[in-house]
Structure 1
Amino acid sequence: MKTKFDIGVNMIFVKVIVVTVLIAVMLLPINLVRSLVEEREGNQKAVQDEISQKWSGIQTISGPVLVLPVLSETDKNQNVITNYAYFLPDSFNVEGNIKTEERSRTLFKTLLYQSNLHVSGTFSLPDYAKLNIKPEQVMWDKAFVLIGITYLQGIKNKIVFNVNGKPQIVQPGIKNNSCVSSGVTVETPLDPAINSYDFNFELALNGSEGLYFNPVGKESTIHLKSSWNTVSFDGNFLPTERTVNKDGFDAKWDIFDYNRNYVQMWVGDNDVLKSSALGVDMKFPVDKYQMTMRSVKYAIMFIVFTFVVFFLVELLSRKRIHPVQYLLVSSGLVIFYVLLLAISEHLSFGLSYLISSSATTILISLYSITMFRSTKQAGMMGLFLAGLYTYLYIVLQLENLSLLFGAIGLFIALAIVMFVLRRVNWYNDDNKSDQIADEDSNHN
């Protein structure tokens, strides 16, 4: 049996305008919630930066780079000018194990790591002739090696740099900063009669967030592993091989000199090493502030959907809902995000979401009893909100598919509204409606 609704067009338009104005008004508290999330996220970032400054931040290892002092021309005062020739290793290999740990201050946490690195490789005797350097200009006994390390306070062991099995003197700081800005210097006098120099050293290095390397060898192999599995591989090169599972990650990079845009030897300043960095970023499994911010982006959709349901109830049951009641319900929907933000700073995001959404659903469902004067309709409203919050949580978890699920959800919502309103007599045309109803009866 078909039902006919006689709706005054003026009343509908007035209600639509009022509801639209209320939705626009709710943009202000939504923006305030967004600002609150950004403020709390900024506070967390400040705490993380403070801890990182004392522990160490994102570490980048550049080198080793062999530096050969070269006597050049004299200046106007007849003082000899010393230039520096730089030579990168033929092979560069890193075996690293990363152990992560969480540190907290007040409500905020930061992720730190301790890495144990075994670095090895080979230098060939510098072919200085390719740089138009004469034999008498070379200062073999003054050669040294630079190892770039971003945060020196992160070094947690005494570095022993072995060259052909012999330990060399490691000094803090760098003699020349044309290719690295921070690190250590290793005195490595060279013997022109020796054609190859094998090196190796152990490095225990603290850091936070990420660990990066510049692949300085003609052939570079970097192998990193950790029990932490929430990672992203970043930089100019992705791993050649990688495994990420519940037990952690294991990644390996194989890089050749022609994969990067700089040569193996040069004279003078050159800061292009950093242009080829590769490495790994370690993150918390769930960033509560990012998840909360993503959920806030759906706030206006929640309000619109809820208002549409109330509006449909008005049309179908002829129970009038006052604009103040619309406003109170939308306020409850906005407070959900404040609850989510506050609780997630103490509990996991999933549990915080469950508590906040349950509290909001119960509050609005109980209030709906006074609006609809029907327990059944209030219960249906509660089921609607529960489904809506469940849908949002699924969308938040499926970050890469959020647009697809969002579009499907909007399409289904529109289809339901169109289906429910298919029999509404928008123009209050009684005669035509009766005629259509009679024709339908005759056909049946």
Structure 2
Amino acid sequence: MTDHSVQTGQTRIDRSRSMGLKLILVGALVVLLGAPLALVNLLAWERANRAETVSAEVGAAYGGAQEMRGPFLVLPYTIDREMEVRDANGRTRREMRTVTETIVLSPDTLHLTGALETRILHRAIYDVPVYEAGLQMSGRFDTGAAGDVLPEGGTIDWTGARMIYAVSDLRGIGEDFRFTLSGRRALRFEPQSDFDRLGPDGAAWRGMAAPVANLRPGEAFDFEGALQISGAGRFALLASGRETTADVTSDWPHPGFDGQYLPDTREIGSDGFTASWRVPYLARGVPAAWVEGRGYTLNQASTALFAVNLVTPADGYAQVSRSLKYALLFLAFTLLMFFLIEANGERPVHAAQYVLIGLAQVVFYLLLLAMSEHLGVWAAYGVAALATITLTAGYALTIFRSQPRAMVTFAGLTLTYLVQFVLVLVEDYALLIGSGLVFAALAATMFMTRKVDWYGMTAGVEGRASPAN
């Protein structure tokens, strides 16, 4: 055995064994790089919270997310009830007391028409969609329904009748609430900060109330109302009528519908949307009339909402967050690609070089986050990906000293970032695609390392056999 053959065999043994250790190193490095990725994720979360805070501040000054609830007719009545009272000596006894309670009536019919004109407000780098809404309403009340729920012995005080209407933020109201009964009686609404007299839950209501004069027992009447209101982000209406229909139009091309009822019909285009609702009595789940605080409350009735959200398309922070979910996976793919090129070539890749390659991929997500706030998420993704691919492929050229291997690196990275882009777009299929990619990467690793002598046994045999030659 010559010194040269022994040295060659030993070199092959050392390289084979080092590849096994290198693969373990790559796996450990992927785990360790999870720490800086977590910091980028935290930064993305902080920036998203900052954007939400700014949107909330701007939106609040414009009225915020508005919910319109009503109208409801409130009828006070008196009734004698046995109550527990305490005398001067501290003894309790039961006696009859006259108390005032409240009946709440829903409209028999209610039709709502809302028209939203939107615009974008700017603060620093943030855009906040706001709206000016014109709300028209019409319908009919039948006070005869009060007799169906009036407790025996109760007497309605018709002079104390009030019409109430709740709005999330009264600051958004642009002009007086115009409301007429039967086309002749105009009601004058005043701000009312609480409705404590309506029952234990009434204090949660904020809005307006107007006395209804000259209301006769059992009277049925039509009503019409008009309200100009500004808000931001969300526009919600309450299906307060026994039968409720609504039509909402807007110039905003990206609506999102929520609440208990989705539109029966909708048309969405680049110039805006039109949506219509019809909520029948049984679907509403709210009685036509009830005694407040005795089995049912206004707060319970206020859940029968349907709403439109002014959705901002391609929310940059949401897309960056989704991209970060796959960061470790694609970081592993990148380092694995370098390992496979090294395993099938002659030039080794130092551990420090693996660290730098991994850090370059981490910086991609930082660039994506920073540039998405100014360029938009998709343009930012393209610029950040191109910069990272070019940097990493150029570094591969200096490592492998081979233009073909550098081109393979460039192509592999391009494919990796394209696939990640697709995963961000098709969230519903992300698990399926990701699982397939992991399987494909494992299969490629097994195939490309099938001839690697992990223990270096072949090299050792060749070294010992050389004297026979």
TM-score by length of 2: 0.85
- In the other structure, the counterpart of 2:177 is 159
Matched, 1:141 2:165: no
Count of residue correspondences: 428
Matches within 5 A, 1:270-349: 270=297, 271-349=299-377
1:50–1:272 distance in 2 versus 1, CA, 3 Å:
same
How far apart are the structure 1 equivalents of 2:331 and 2:283? Answer: 52
Cα distance, 1:174 vs structure 2? 5.5
Quick one: percent identity of the two aligned structures?
28
Cα distance, 1:48 vs structure 2? 1.4
- In the other structure, the counterpart of 2:264 is 240
- In the other structure, the counterpart of 2:38 is 31
Q: SS in structure 2 opposite 1:38?
A: helix
- In the other structure, the counterpart of 2:73 is 66
Counterpart code for 2:45: E
- In the other structure, the counterpart of 1:206 is 230
1:174–1:21 distance in 2 versus 1, CA, 3 Å:
closer
Matched, 1:385 2:404: no
Structure 1 ranges of 4+ moved more than 6 A: 74-79
Mapped contact 1:174–1:185 kept (Cα < 8 A) = no
Cα deviation 1:397-427 (Å, max 9, x = unaligned): 2233333332333333333333333444445
Unaligned runs of 5+ in 1: 1-5, 435-444
- Worse overlay, 349-358 or 123-132: 123-132
Matched, 1:100 2:118: yes
Q: SS in structure 1 opposite 2:286?
A: coil
How far apart are the structure 2 equivalents of 1:200 and 1:227? Answer: 25
Cα distance, 1:207 vs structure 2? 1.2
Counterpart code for 2:410: G
How far apart are the structure 2 equivalents of 1:159 and 1:307? Answer: 65
Counterpart code for 1:412: A
Cα deviation 1:277-305 (Å, max 9, x = unaligned): 11111111111111111111111112100
Cα distance, 1:367 vs structure 2? 1.0
How far apart are the structure 2 equivalents of 1:412 and 1:10? Answer: 25
- In the other structure, the counterpart of 1:263 is 287
TM-score by length of 1: 0.90
Mapped contact 2:143–2:218 kept (Cα < 8 A) = yes
How far apart are the structure 2 equivalents of 1:193 and 1:237? Answer: 34
Find 1:118's aligned residue among 128, 131, 136: 136
- Worse overlay, 255-264 or 366-375: 255-264
Counterpart code for 1:197: F
- In the other structure, the counterpart of 1:402 is 430
Unaligned runs of 5+ in 2: 1-11, 86-94, 463-469
1:23–1:174 distance in 2 versus 1, CA, 3 Å:
closer
RMSD of aligned C-alpha atoms? 2.4
How far apart are the structure 1 equivalents of 2:231 and 2:398? Answer: 57
How far apart are the structure 1 equivalents of 2:206 and 2:263? Answer: 26
- In the other structure, the counterpart of 2:192 is 173
Mapped contact 2:109–2:244 kept (Cα < 8 A) = yes
1:240–1:371 distance in 2 versus 1, CA, 3 Å:
same
Q: SS in structure 2 opposite 1:36?
A: helix
Mapped contact 1:212–1:279 kept (Cα < 8 A) = yes
How far apart are the structure 2 equivalents of 1:136 and 1:12? Answer: 91
1:136–1:12 distance in 2 versus 1, CA, 3 Å:
closer
Cα deviation 1:204-234 (Å, max 9, x = unaligned): 1111111112211111112112121222211
- In the other structure, the counterpart of 2:91 is none
Matches within 5 A, 1:402-421: 402-421=430-449
Cα deviation 1:368-405 (Å, max 9, x = unaligned): 11111112211221121112111211221223333333
Matched, 1:46 2:53: yes
How far apart are the structure 1 equivalents of 2:446 and 2:139? Answer: 70
Q: SS in structure 1 opposite 2:225?
A: strand
Counterpart code for 1:307: L
Mapped contact 2:187–2:211 kept (Cα < 8 A) = yes
How far apart are the structure 2 equivalents of 1:364 and 1:132? Answer: 79
- In the other structure, the counterpart of 1:195 is 219
